[in-house]
Structure formats: structure tokens, C-alpha cells
Chains A and B, each alone.
Chain A
Amino acid sequence: DVKVTQSSRYLVKRTGEKVFLECVQDMDHENMFWYRQDPGLGLRLIYFSYDVKMKEKGDIPEGYSVSREKKERFSLILESASTNQTSMYLCASRSGGRRELFFGEGSRLTVL
């Protein structure tokens, strides 16, 4: 089975702190994605990556950056966390050319 692992299930940070969310997949997938999930808004794409060292902006990239130094790992970075970034963050991966996304369990971030 494909496994997408997000390092932290719950985080509490203060406004202005730098936050790292880590995601690792074990199926050699080329594509990786970061979404945030908020009530009434569905899943919104923040950033995605088609290959190592590659990144593309999604629909809501402001306030975020990403890093993909290795194929299996895709990190989401909040340079200076703000309260409006309190959310559930979901990482996903997909084999190139396939339709199905495999999701991690999510990281619930609270910014105080």
C-alpha cells in the first residue's frame, strides 16, 4: 500500500514563528502536493511539485514556500506564521500520468 506520512499530526505555534511541515511518500511518486482544508472551503492547493527541485504555485501560495530536495520528501514552510494560517494541512502524492491522489493523515496547525 502507498504510504504518505506527515511528520506532525498536531502543532501549536505562535504568530511570527517559522513552521516546517514534512511529508514523505514511499512509492517513488513523481508528483507531490500540499493542500489546506478549511470548513466550507474544501481542499485548496497551495503548492505542488512534479519532480525533485521543481515547484509550482497552486491556487493559494501566498505566505508559503516549499522544498523538494529528494523525490520522497516534500516540505511546506510558513516563513512567518499568522493566525489565518490555522488550518488542516494535507500532503498528497501521485504517480506521473495517473489520476489518483494518495493523501497523508493531515497536520492540524494552530497559530496563536
Chain B
Amino acid sequence: GESVGLHLPTLSVQEGDNSIINCAYSNSASDYFIWYKQESGKGPQFIIDIRSNMDKRQGQRVTVLLNKTVKHLSLQIAATQPGDSAVYFCAAGGFTGGGNKLTFGTGTQLKVEL
């Protein structure tokens, strides 16, 4: 079945630096991908999504890159701030026989050092 994995369980960056969080997926038929942020004690929050017919999408201080050739996507956070400390998940979605389903990765803990 579909699997989604993140490359590093923990990432530490200095405040002000750029962060790059990576994710790999297995199902080449995935239609879209979403990045979520989960702060301690809270539910996941939507950050940004990208459709499979795109290779880059930008939001406020975030950029998602999609490389379908190697089934890899990344989340780049510019000028990382202490408030960015959280667990980041990628999810792959698609309309299969079972409906519109999301498969989540295990998450990368981003730690911002002052």
C-alpha cells in the first residue's frame, strides 16, 4: 500500500536560518500533497498543499517543492522563527476506489535554537 516517510525524525536549526524538511512517498498516482504543522498539545494545522501537476508552490515564508521523478517533496521555511518549532508532517492524497484518502508520514520535529 501507500507509504509516506520523512527523512529525519529531528531537525535543529538556528533562528533566522532556512529550514528544509524532506518527505518521500511511494504511490506515483498520488494527486496532491499537504504539509501540516503540529505544535505540542495541539492538533495538526494545514500549512500548504501542492497538486501533482505542479513542481513548486510558495506561501508566506514557506515553499514546497515536488519532484515526481524520485517521489520526493520538501518543505522550506525561510528565516525560521521560534514559533516554527513543531512537528511537521507530509501527507499524500488521491482519489482511489476507497475515496479521497490521505496517507501521512511520521513527522519531523523541528527545533529552533536561539
Contact = CB atoms under 8 A, between A and B. Distances in A.
Interface of A: 4, 31, 35, 40-45, 48, 50, 56, 90, 92, 97, 99-106
26 contacts: A4-B43, A41-B106, A42-B4, A42-B89, A42-B105, A42-B106, A42-B107, A43-B89, A43-B91, A43-B104, A48-B99, A50-B99, A56-B98, A56-B99, A97-B100, A99-B34, A99-B93, A100-B46, A101-B102, A102-B46, A103-B36, A103-B44, A103-B45, A104-B43, A105-B42, A106-B41
Interface of B: 4, 32, 34, 36, 41-46, 49, 89, 91, 93, 98-102, 104-107
A80 B31 CA distance: 38
Contacts of A105: 41-43
Contacts of A92: 43
Nearest to B3: A42
Contacts, number: 50
B106 A40 contact: yes
B34 A100 contact: yes
Contacts of A50: 99
Contacts of A100: 34, 46, 49
Q: Which of A4, A43, A48 has the most CB of B within 10 A?
A: A43
A103 to B, nearest CB: 4
Nearest to B102: A101
A56 B96 CA distance: 14
A103 B44 CA distance: 6
A101 B104 CA distance: 12
